[in-house]
Amino acid sequence: MDKNSYYKYMFIVAALWNWILAVVFILLSILSPSSAEDLGMDIPPTWVFAHGFYFLVFLIGLFFYVTGRNLEKYHGLAPIFVLEKVGGFITILLYFLIGEINAAVLVVGIADLIFGILFFEYWLKFE
């Protein structure tokens, strides 16, 4: 597989990852609000902020998808993508270390870190 195809599919997979996470977490919070406790979190008094966050996760997935469709045009967004994924991992790691979430959520953070590393490679090596 050539590099352009690799990067294209990488961004499409990243988009799917974000979309699936956003939809799953929104549905879980609506259909089973107590599922937050299964992940080591308190049930929030309102889901408005969580749902807003999940919407942004979904929206960032759209940016990944669009980037995968035109790698040259959107290459300049790569540093933002790296910061989003690495920053998400650091946030999840910190909350795991202080005991606010459990290892299941940490796995999601590790997947984000992997995408962050891949986006960094795209940022540096894509021509």
Domain ranges of the chain: 3-125
Taking the C-alpha atoms of residue 116 and residue 86, their distance in angstroms, rounded to an integer, is 5
Taking the C-alpha atoms of residue 20 and residue 43, their distance in angstroms, rounded to an integer, is 21
Percent with pLDDT over 70 in the chain: 100
Tokens of 111: 């997947």
Q: What is the band of 39 on the pLDDT scale with cuts at 50, 70, 90?
A: confident
Mean per-residue pLDDT, 18-22 = 97
| pTM for this entry | 0.91
Question: Which residue, among 24, 118, 20, 2, has the nearest Cα to 67 in the 3D structure?
Answer: 118
